[in-house]
Amino acid sequence: MSIVRRAGGSKIPPGEKIRVKVKKAVEDEGNHGPQLKLDLETLGPKKFKGIEFPEWAKIAEDEETGEKFVAEGGKLDNIITAALVGDEEKISSLNSIPQVAKTLKGKTFSSITTTRGKDNQYFGLTWNMIFVDTDAHPEQSFEPGDNLPDDDDTETDEMAADENNPLMRDDTDAA
């Protein structure tokens, strides 16, 4: 018998990068206010493929008007951005939480797992580590050495040049 014992909920350890598909998304008045409940299924890696689990993302609410919206930089915004591959035209066309839920259904993204719940017996997604699913969108995958487009910011380019980098300069001849 293994010395490592896990409570029933922790099927994927923290720190794993997983690919997920949104099977269902519905608005949910949870214990912590309005949320979007996502029923997710892991697509990979192979050792975790097919595991289904729920994930919740907070829906922001204007205190004065009660209007519900997606807060910039929050988990739901990160999920939308990754699932829609950063397509700002599609993202800005979303007009309601039900439309967000409908749009996310069937979409994929990647994330790093973390522990959840009392005593950390469950797993979930790390809110600020949600990424485009590069297996489904290989055009979004970049490797060291790829010929990426240059920025137009010449000040940044000058600062980034090797001769201006103190770690890259050879100052041994300087007197």
pLDDT tens-digit profile of 153-169?
555 555 555 565 556 65
How do residues 10-46 score in pLDDT, each as one tens digit?
589 999 999 999 999 999 987 889 999 999 999 999 9
Angle at which helices 75-83 and 97-104 cross, to 10°: 50
Q: Would you say residue 127 has pLDDT above 80? A: yes
Top-confidence residue, 141 or 35:
35
d(Cα 85, Cα 133) in Å, to the nearest integer?
8
Top-confidence residue, 115 or 158:
115
For the residues 2-13, what does the mean pLDDT come to? Answer: 61
How do residues 52-96 score in pLDDT, each as one tens digit?
999 999 999 999 999 999 999 999 999 999 999 999 999 999 999
> Could you tell me which of 117, 120, 112, 91 has the C-alpha nearest to residue 103?
91
For the residues 119-138, what does the mean pLDDT come to? Answer: 93
What's the longest Cα–Cα distance across the chain? Answer: 69
Specify whether the CB–CB gap between 22 and 107 falls below 8 A. yes
DSSP string across 58-101? EPEE-TTT--EEPPTTSHHHHHHHHHTTT-HHHHHT--SHHHHH
Q: Would you say residue 6 has pLDDT above 50? A: no
Top-confidence residue, 117 or 123:
123
pTM: 0.77
**What local confidence, expressed as pLDDT, does residue 30 receive?**
75
**What local confidence, expressed as pLDDT, does residue 165 receive?**
59
Specify whether the CB–CB gap between 118 and 7 falls below 8 A. no
Q: Which two tokens stand for residue 23?
A: 């099977």
The lowest-confidence range among 13-22, 111-120, 138-147 is 138-147
